[in-house]
Amino acid sequence: MAPRFIAKQLAWPAGIGGWLVRAGMNRGNARLNSYAVDQLQLVPEDQVLEIGFGGGAALPRLIGGASFVCGVDRSDDVVSAATRKFADVVRAGRAEFHLGAVEKLPLRDGTFTKVLSVHTVYFWQSLEAGSAELARVLAPGGRVVLGFLPKGRMDRMNMPADIFTPREPDDIAAALKATGFSEIEVRRPNSETAWAVATGVRN
C-alpha cells in the first residue's frame, strides 16, 4: 500500500507535505506534462484552462505559448503558490489562478479554446461530471487534453481506493463522447510508455 499521506497529498496538496509533493510531481510528471502540452497544439491566440495544475509543471509552457492561461485547482496552497510564482504574468492580465473543482468550475460557458488536465481524473467524482464541465467552458472547436496513468498501471501502485479511482482509457473516451466531444483519441509516445493522453474536440 502506498503511504496514505503521500496519496492524500497527491490528491489534495496542503502544508509542508504538499510543498514537497508539488516539487516531486514537477520532476516525476515532467515527461507526461510535456507530451500533453504538445497535444494541445497551442497557438498564440489560445485561451487555455488547466485543471489541477498542482506544482505547475505545465504552466511555463502554457503561459509562453498562449495569450491567456487560467488555472483551477481545489487546493488553496496550490492556487496561492502559483499566484505568487507567476505574479508578473497575473499582474499583466495574462494569467489567473482560482480555487475550484472540475465538477463545478467557477468559469463562464464557452470561454476557452484549450483545456488541459494531467493526473486528475482519478479524483473526479465521475468522469461524466468532469467532462461535462470541460465541454461547458470550452468554445465549439476547442480542444481537450487529459493525461493519466491507465487503470492497469495504476492498480500496480496499490493506491488507497478511497482516494484514487483508477480509470480505463475506454471509459475516459466514452465520457468525452457522451458529453459533447468528437475526434477522440487515446495515445502515448510509444508502446513502452506507462501513461497515456486522451484528446478530443468540442462539438
Ligand X SMILES: C[S@@+](CC[C@H](N)C(=O)[O-])C[C@H]1O[C@@H](n2cnc3c(N)ncnc32)[C@H](O)[C@@H]1O
Stretch that binds ligand X, among 7-15, 107-115, 138-146, 176-184 (CB under 6 A): 7-15
Q: Check residue 117 and report its DSSP letter.
A: E
Give the span between the Cα atoms of 194 and 150, in whole angstroms: 8
Q: Does 33 bind ligand X (CB under 6 A)?
A: yes
Among 61, 119, 143, 167, interactor with ligand X by CB under 6 A: 119
Give the span between the Cα atoms of 136 and 186, in whole angstroms: 21
In the region spanning residues 122 to 151, those forming contacts with ligand X, defined by CB under 6 A, are: 123-124
Q: Does 113 bind ligand X (CB under 6 A)?
A: no
Q: Does 54 bind ligand X (CB under 6 A)?
A: yes
Q: Does 12 bind ligand X (CB under 6 A)?
A: yes
- Which letter, b or e, does each residue of 75-99 get, where b requires 16 or more Cβ atoms within 10 Å of its Cβ? bebbbebbbeebeebbeeeebbbee
Number of CB atoms found within 10 A of residue 160's CB: 14
Q: Does 10 bind ligand X (CB under 6 A)?
A: yes
**Contact pattern for ligand X over residues 73 through 112, marking x by CB under 6 A:** xxx--x----------------------xx----------
Q: Which is nearer to ligand X, 113 or 120 (CB)?
A: 120
Give the span between the Cα atoms of 21 and 7, in whole angstroms: 10
Cβ atoms of 30 and 57 within 8 Å: the answer is yes
Question: What's the grid cell of residue 133?
Answer: 464541465
Which residues of this protein are in contact with ligand X, per CB under 6 A? 10-13, 25, 29, 33, 51-55, 57, 73-75, 78, 101-102, 118-120, 123-124
